[in-house]
Amino acid sequence: MASTKTFKLNTGADIPALGLGTWQGDPTLLKDAVITALKAGYRLIDTAYCYGNEEHVGAALKEAFDQGIVKREEVFVVTKLWATYTSRAEEGLEKSLKNLGLGWVDLFLVHWPLLMNPEGNDDKFPKLPNGERDILRDYSHIQIWKNMEKLVESGKTKAIGVSNYSKRYLEELLPHATIVPAVNQIENHPQLPQQEIVDFCKEKGIHIMAYSPFGSTGSPVTSAEPVVKIAEKHGVKPTTVLLSYHLARGSTVLPKSTNPERIKANAELIELDAEDQKLLSEYSEGLVKEGKLCRYVYPPFGVDFGFPDKS
Phi, psi dihedral angles at 10 (to 5 degrees):
-70, -5
Contacts of 201 (CB under 8 A, 6+ apart): 170, 184, 207, 208
Residue 207 known to bind ligand:
no
- Which pLDDT value is given to residue 186? 98
Q: Model-level pTM?
A: 0.96
Quick: pLDDT tens for 67-109.
999 999 999 999 999 999 999 999 999 999 999 999 999 999 9
Helix (H, G, I), strand (E, B) or coil at 12: coil
- Which pLDDT value is given to residue 249? 95
- Which pLDDT value is given to residue 172? 98
Beta strand 14-16 with 6-8 is antiparallel
Closest CA to 9 of 134, 158, 140: 158
Of the candidates 42, 49, 51, 169, the residue annotated as catalytic is 51
- Which pLDDT value is given to residue 311? 79
Contacts of 258 (CB under 8 A, 6+ apart): 25, 26, 29, 30, 32, 33
pLDDT less than 50: residues of the chain:
none
- Which pLDDT value is given to residue 200? 98
- Which pLDDT value is given to residue 269? 93
Asked about 139 being catalytic, the answer comes back as no
